[in-house]
């Protein structure tokens, strides 16, 4: 059985991951994947409490390069080659699963974590009971199209030209950051409690910048081109796809994904941004609880 509280896992590669399990021994097992890339687990810290009526064991961890876990020197090319690719992080999930002896469990991922959920479900479906994809599409191009549409809608022509000029010159100055913060407040972190504001200062910048770019409203890193839209129909697991109604991911993508995955359900959270589990927790957890209850009762997910 998984131990209650904090556990440091030593990976086969020698690095260490911070993990935490709440309500160890609970009937339902849930493993949580944070976003970023390079984010951390902190917006999952209340999940055990919120899901206590279902007796859910909640395990979270910080991925390699993230706040509580080891952070290799990613200025070294060999570390980039070994670790900064999707396959590494998918297999990291599997190693965490093995070392914590998790079987027949649910896997939830937010944003980047939602991409990892899809990849893991395609590679290791035999270990899973169900998956939850929170605020993530199945391809980056639709996301890029949506954030570009948001930028065009929210900024004047002059502001948009300024942003584009700064990005072309790699000059992310104070005025640039102020404009991007307007988008963050509307589409990413609408409620902005301390735990969420804290995520910005604790981001694993080397990992985030390598995969994503400077901020949530550009994609200049290695995630550009990621596309699983032709493969997700192979996911046969019960699937919950949950989006905020006012977020950076295109809602149309979530609806299409739910129509493509055979046993999937699409739900949205009013007044929720990209972190809608924080922006409107009551509705977010209502949807999550209903999904878990339905799967546990062997109801068909649709």
Give the active site residues: 111, 247, 274
Per the document, the length of the chain is 302
Q: With contact defined as beta carbons under 8 Å apart, do 263 and 238 qualify?
A: yes
State how far the Cα of 116 lies from the Cα of 132, in Å rounded to an integer: 11
State how far the Cα of 108 lies from the Cα of 206, in Å rounded to an integer: 24
Q: Name residues whose C-beta falls within 8 Å of residue 274's C-beta, 6 or more positions apart in sequence.
A: 111, 135, 187, 188, 189, 216, 244, 247, 248, 249
Q: With contact defined as beta carbons under 8 Å apart, do 84 and 210 qualify?
A: yes
Q: Name beta bridge partners: 107.
A: 31, 131
Closest by CA to 257, choosing from 269, 267, 272, 247, is 267
Could you write out the DSSP letters of every residue in 98-155? Answer: HHTT--SEEEEEETHHHHHHHHHHHH-GGGEEEEEEES--SBHHHHHHHHHHHHHHHS
Q: What are phi and psi of 269, to 5 degrees?
A: -115, 115
Strand ranges (E), the chain:
5-10, 16-22, 28-33, 56-61, 105-110, 128-134, 239-244, 264-269
Which tokens is 244 given? 């905020």
Which tokens is 91 given? 């297999």
Could you write out the DSSP letters of every residue in 269-289? Answer: ETT--TTHHHHTHHHHHHHHH
Q: With contact defined as beta carbons under 8 Å apart, do 289 and 260 qualify?
A: no
């Amino acid at each position: 059985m998984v131990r209650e509280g904090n556990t440091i896992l030593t990976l086969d590669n020698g690095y260490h991951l911070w993990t935490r399990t709440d309500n160890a021994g609970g009937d339902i097992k849930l493993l949580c994947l944070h976003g970023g890339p390079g984010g951390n687990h902190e917006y999952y810290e209340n999940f055990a409490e919120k899901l206590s009526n279902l007796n859910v064991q909640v395990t979270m961890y910080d991925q390699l390069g993230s706040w509580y876990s080891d952070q290799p020197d990613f200025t070294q090319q060999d570390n980039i080659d070994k670790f900064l690719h999707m396959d590494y992080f998918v297999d990291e999930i599997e190693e965490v699963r093995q070392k914590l002896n998790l079987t027949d469990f649910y896997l939830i991922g937010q944003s980047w974590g939602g991409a990892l959920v899809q990849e893991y479900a395609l590679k290791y479906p035999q270990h899973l009971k169900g998956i939850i994809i929170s605020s993530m599409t199945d391809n980056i191009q639709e996301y890029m199209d949506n954030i570009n549409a948001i930028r065009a809608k929210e900024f004047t022509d002059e502001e948009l030209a300024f942003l584009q000029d700064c990005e072309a010159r790699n000059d992310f100055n104070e005025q640039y950051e102020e404009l991007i913060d307007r988008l963050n407040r509307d589409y990413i972190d609408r409620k902005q409690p301390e735990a969420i504001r804290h995520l910005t200062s604790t981001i694993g910048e080397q990992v985030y910048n390598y995969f994503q770019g400077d901020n949530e409203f550009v994609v200049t890193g290695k995630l550009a081109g990621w596309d699983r839209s032709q493969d997700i129909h192979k996911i046969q697991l019960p699937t919950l796809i949950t989006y905020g109604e006012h977020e950076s991911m295109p809602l149309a993508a979530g609806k299409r994904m739910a129509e493509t995955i055979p046993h999937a359900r699409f739900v949205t959270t009013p007044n929720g941004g990209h972190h809608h589990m924080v922006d409107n927790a009551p509705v977010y957890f209502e949807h999550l609880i209903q999904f878990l209850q339905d799967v546990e009762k062997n109801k068909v997910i649709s």
